[in-house]
Amino acid sequence: LDWDEGPERGGPSAPYRQSERRDLYTARVDDLIAAGHAYRCFCTPGMLEADTAEQRRKKLPPRYVGRCRAIPVDEALAKASSGERFTVRFRAPHGRRLLLPDLVRGQVSFVTGGIEDFMLLRSDGRPSYNLAVVVDDAAMGITHVLRGEDHLSNTPKQVLLAEALGHEPPAFGHLPLLLGDDGAPLSKRHGRASLADLRAAGHTPEGILNYLALCGWSHPEAKEILTVEELRASFDLGRVGGGGSIFDAKRLAWIDAHHLRAMTWERLRALCEAVAVEAPTPETLALIQPNLRTLWDARDLGAIFREPFDPGEDAVRALKTFDASPLLGAAGAVEAGDYDAFIAALKARAPGYKGKRLFMPLRLALTGREDGPELREIFAALGADRRRARLAEAARRLGGA
């Protein structure tokens, strides 16, 4: 996505890092304490662990027991001023039912009695997640929050906190999660569970965005290959389903291949430069683009046409399985420059080779790969001198002439 503003781009809402916004969080917490919506908690980690152990023994859900909720403000301030360590907790109201509209799920109901007095500030002054997002959303003018359904339980806390601070909460929409093959939420144990993993696999931003948009949403005309502009024009939260989508690596690869094969040379070059990969020339791209599946293919297939060229040990081992020395020796002696004439002359010189036994050794010797552009196109692009040199090198590596 193209960010409107942020730590790398800047903007009117700076600073953007939480570590640089602590004064703002502290000021808002002071406002909450003064208004009676928050209080200092002096419970030690040992006390909290004992409370949790007792609740588990009684088979109750673990939650803060409210031990410090009734400490008078002046007494709490005196304890804090004397150096006693404390956290700050939100004073969750009891006896309220919250009916919250959700852009994906419709109206969702919560009872505030099930919400504990959750933490706002840790003992070292760091803000909790709920405090930081509520304060930042208000300060930065956030109107809509779209996130995974695993954050649904945070919504009533954030709405209550926004109300206490006098802010209008943003509109929330909770999207279904991506799942692994076992139906559990996608995680590291399933493999590619982060954008970094997908980038490392050579997927492009266009392909990733297209695939993720189709997880739980469908285009009104059932289109599957969509540009950012097409997604922007057609995406509607009303078409997002409530069930999770199983991550499909094959579908992602299929979608990404379509984007790579339609990509301009300028865009591909920019993507290659971003990951320190040498981009193919425009002429080379025209040859290899129909074979691109990931960004790494642009690197690997582009290497076919670069010098110095080394077929690699894998190709040499594969050539040995074809008993290719006689064929390569014969190929090196053929002078014909036209592909069809070359193949005809080679068949005459090496009559025992035909079909895969003829064409695969030629491909391996000329490219070092078993796949790639059409052999006819490779033949023409390399030219006579480079063809002859590569055939001779492959023959030499096999111990032939």
- Give the DSSP per-residue string, 149-169: GGGGGGHHHHHHHHHHHT-PP
CA distance 360 to 122: 66
Cis ω before 15 (30° cut-off from 0): yes
CA distance 108 to 174: 11
Integer-rounded Cα radius of gyration of the chain: 32
CA distance 134 to 131: 5
CA distance 278 to 293: 17
- Give the DSSP per-residue string, 323-342: T-HHHHHHHHH----SHHHH
Please pick, among 58, 188, 223, 320, the residue that the annotation labels catalytic.
188
Question: What 8-state DSSP symbol labels residue 290?
Answer: G
Side chain identity at 242, as an amino acid letter?
G
Assigned token pair, 307: 């010098």
Pairing of strands 87-90, 97-102: unpaired
Query: If we measure between CA atoms, which residue out of 106, 1, 115, 89 comes closest to residue 37?
Result: 89
Query: If we measure between CA atoms, which residue out of 111, 124, 61, 64 comes closest to residue 89?
Result: 64
Assigned token pair, 174: 């909770």
Tell me how far CA of residue 171 lies from CA of 100, 132, 357, in angstroms: 9, 17, 64
Size of the chain in residues: 401
State yes or no: is 157 an active-site residue. Answer: no
CA distance 75 to 357: 90
Tell me how far CA of residue 385 lies from CA of 331, 366, 380, 382, in angstroms: 13, 12, 11, 8
Q: Residues with catalytic annotation? A: 188
